[in-house]
Structure 1
Amino acid sequence: MAKLALNKSALSKEKHRKASYGRYLPSLEMKQKQLLLERKKAEEALQQHAHDIESLEASVYQKLPMLAVANIQMEGLVVVESFKLAEENLLGTKVPVLESIIFKRAEYGYLIRPHWFEELATSLEKVMHLKMEEQVLRIRFEKLKSAARTITQRVNLFSKVLIPEAEENIKKIGLFLSDQERAGVVRSKLAKQKKLVDAEGGQR
């Protein structure tokens, strides 16, 4: 770390640094507040999705109790054929958005298809849709969490390190210059007194 220069130029520089940090800090704090709010919204959306999935699965098992039978195979009944993700710029943080999903149902002959097939397939699609949304929401939450952590670190750097450091430097330089000024006044007075004494001595 460079040694602090104790002069008027350094004092001016430190005052400029403090003013710059002071102008920048409010915008950082505003962004921090907004990101923390978005992070909270993403967390709440995740919790709501988890609740929705649990409720939907419970509803499916209530409507279709035959699903509790171990030999009923549901694998491959509904699969994700394709999906489309978009990107949203949220306060400078790029987060994913699930735009659409296309499902594909297994082909069963009408005569061998159980009467509850359509309802089951529709319910599975709803559950899978919610679970994919949940995955995207989790990514959004993690990205916003990381962005909020980064902006909080910056706010702390400015408010707890850089600004106090500049203030401390201003104080140190100010005290030093004040001491130098007082010492200069004292030396000036002593010099005048010495001249007077020398003058009086010369007259004698």
Structure 2
Amino acid sequence: MAHTATVTTIEPGELKQRLADDELTIIDVRTPAEFESVHIRGSYNVPLPLLSEHTHDLADRLGGRVVLVCQSGVRAGQAQDRLSSVGVSSAEVLAGGISAFESAGGTVVRGAQRWAMDRQVRMVAGSLVLAGFVGSKVIHPRVGLLAGAIGAGLTYSALSNSCAMAAALSKMPWNRTEVSPTYENTIRSIPVAPQAVTARAA
């Protein structure tokens, strides 16, 4: 079984009070489309797959207070685990995600509106299960295997803490943005924190 670090969280109300802190870095690990729809002003969009690929590079730029944001806290927790594995112990997960922050009165920036990725996954998975059930009654009993396959996929997703369906949906046309985050245009745009420079020098 994969090791999962204890998640350290920060409440939305506390983050609201910290936003004026110059030493605070907010990393949003959602997809570019989700980030474009709504995000905390001043946050950096480093999608979880990009963060996973360049964890050391990102860690070299971080210091002081770091808050990780996603839709509900799950992906941010995974990002915290990855950063912790390379020595970044100061990162906190926004409890309840961007939705909780907005509900607490936090100011957000809005753009083109899209469904959050977890909502898209629920919609597609639910539709396929329903289609499998109806198909097994109307077309052929074997069509019901579709529902079983989706159930198995969701079970594996929970056990492995990953989601192939979300990865596939993120590539759909409605989830694409004009600019896709890369190491060059995203991670390198994050200012190197003074604490990170001091740590490297030591």
Q: What is the TM-score when the length of structure 1 is the normalising length?
A: 0.24
Answer 1 or 2: which has greater helix percent.
1
Larger Cα-atom Rg: 1
Q: Which has the higher contact order (CA 8 A, sep 6+)?
A: 1
Q: What is the TM-score when the length of structure 2 is the normalising length?
A: 0.24
